[in-house]
A = this chain, B = another copy of it.
Amino acid sequence: MNKINEYLIKNNYDYFLLPNTDEFFGEYLHPNDQKIKFICGFTGSNATIIFGKESNYFFTDGRYILQAQQQLDNSQYHIIDIAKKNILQWLTENVKEHQSLAIDPKLISKNFCKKISTNIEKIIYLTNNPIDQIYNNTQQIVRNYSKSYELPKAISGASFQEKINMILPKISADAMLITSPLNLNWLLNIRGSDLPNTPLFLCRGILFKDGKLTLFANQSINNSQVEVLPLAKFYEYFSQNIDKISSLQLDFNQCNLATTLVLDKLKIDYTHLDDPIDGIKTIKNFAEINGAKNAHLHDGVAVVKFLYWLENSWQNNIEIDEISAQEKLLSFRKNNDHFIENSFETISAFAENGAIIHYKSQSDTNKKFNKNSLYLIDSGGQYFGKNFMGTTDITRTLAIGSPTHDMIENYTLVLKGHINLARVKFPKGSTGSQLDALARVHLWNCQKDYQHGTGHGVGSFLSVHEGPCGISRYNNHALAKGMILSNEPGFYLENHYGIRLENLMVVDEFDDNFMCFETLSLVPFEPNLIDFRMITYPEQKWLANYHLDIINKISDYLNCQEKEWFVKKYIFL
């Protein structure tokens, strides 16, 4: 029995639901907001705990089941795979009519609450989260909110006012609530460093229909149209300004229940609107695309230098392991003045670890490169320079020693899928769900597949995972000029190896009726893993042109040995 169980008994609540999120529902959490890690030691991203008076239920997805079994005290937690039983199903089946469920309204979206409300009558809205209360923030670090910085228009490509003008036509109420810090950072052309991996400052905002913005943030902003109030004052703002706002639009998926409870109490009329910034921000402008190209040039140089280093180290019998390899890659990136940080936690996975899709090498799993196998490295950077900004994300799979015939065949199938998608032209209005199979069909025809999407949207010096566009079976958002997406088919042989080949691409118009992708990433594919008998002429042509394009762009940044190695290995392959 832990302290939360005792808390439930004492207060006579039957259950307490704790998702792994903060009140902004973003992808990355500040250490102080990692309540689940704090209470049970779990370090994965997807987790929800339902505490009962006696038993606790830990929900995660297939990627993390093994990790949860290792990290959790199994006498305290029942681990449940959400693919087999999701949280809504579990609640419906287990919370009896007379029983109560306590939640922290700051950590629950309005939409999730609507869903659970249909099945559960007694929902207790807690004012203070028991995790913070009980553990009295013993491990909390002092939180310094970062100083934010402005993006000049040459980098952002559009001024605050130009962005406001794109959004205002979507506002029909007195004001629109913007709860996503990503969307506000985009709108204000400002960035910060409040969270790891994503260069943003935390904030919320209310955009009035006259174009004025009230921002809740822990720093001042140099913008006469913006009134800045402390972030902590957000929830009390409405009662003090009830004359200004009689109707409000907000996104029920992105707005927490704590906010709508305030609105309910004040009888402020509010309606759901998908945050229109999502759809606008996903279309990158000329400056953003140029910024991305610049970032990919710098990133490509770092990764190519890493590839050269890796091949030489292996050939010279220098000991390498997953962690030393990823640190080496980070050091190549850090050689560049414009590199800010990794855009996500690097996946550096040798041999069988490569088959774990969201693997993170840790001291107890860190593998030495001590046999013939494949090495998968998935990493990316946030770049910010005088004239550009951009976010990268790239995965390459390399042969360590001699690859087997199977490895070569599977690498070639994945590469054929990657090229099939990279070079396709498609009618305007096509969606990611229509194109997804193109990256899979060569694998499918050998009865193989991969259990993840083919591509995700990517932000401009924002989150490396950005909706609403994507390339997967389920993404029905039409692709449009200026979207940046990943192209990352893979193949995973459990207990043996993993293959994933990922580039970023930007959607472009090919002619009046057709769209195409332009590949942004500048890192070659591994010729030793390609069975050229399986490659068609158009595929080979694409590959040759791609490698030529890379060397043309990056050669100025390579030294003599690196250049010679690149040309010999990738051009005269």
Interface residues of A (CB under 8 A from B): 420, 423-427, 430, 433-438, 441, 444-447, 449, 473, 510-511, 513-514, 536, 538
Contact = CB atoms under 8 A, between A and B. Distances in A.
Contact of A473 (B434, B437, B514): B434
A445 B510 CA distance: 10
Contact of A447 (B420, B425, B441): B425
Contact of A444 (B427, B433, B447): B427
B510 A447 contact: yes
Contact of A514 (B420, B427, B447): B447
A153 B512 CA distance: 56
A409 B537 CA distance: 17
A73 to B, nearest CB: 36
A514 B437 contact: no
Nearest to A533: B537
Contact of A424 (B425, B441, B514): B441
Contacts of A433: 433-434
A447 B510 CA distance: 9
Given A425-B447, A427-B444, A433-B433, 10 more contacts: A425-B446, A433-B434, A434-B436, A435-B437, A437-B437, A438-B441, A445-B538, A447-B511, A447-B514, A536-B536
21 contacts: A420-B441, A423-B445, A424-B441, A424-B444, A424-B445, A425-B444, A425-B447, A426-B437, A426-B444, A427-B444, A430-B437, A434-B437, A435-B437, A437-B437, A437-B438, A438-B441, A444-B514, A445-B538, A447-B510, A447-B513, A536-B536
Contacts of A446: 425
A433 B438 CA distance: 12
A426 B438 CA distance: 12
A412 to B, nearest CB: 14
Contacts of A444: 424-427, 514
Nearest to A420: B441
A145 B246 CA distance: 66
A426 B433 CA distance: 15
A323 to B, nearest CB: 35
Contacts of A449: 427, 513
Contacts of A513: 447, 449
A342 to B, nearest CB: 33
Contacts of A510: 447
A433 B473 CA distance: 9
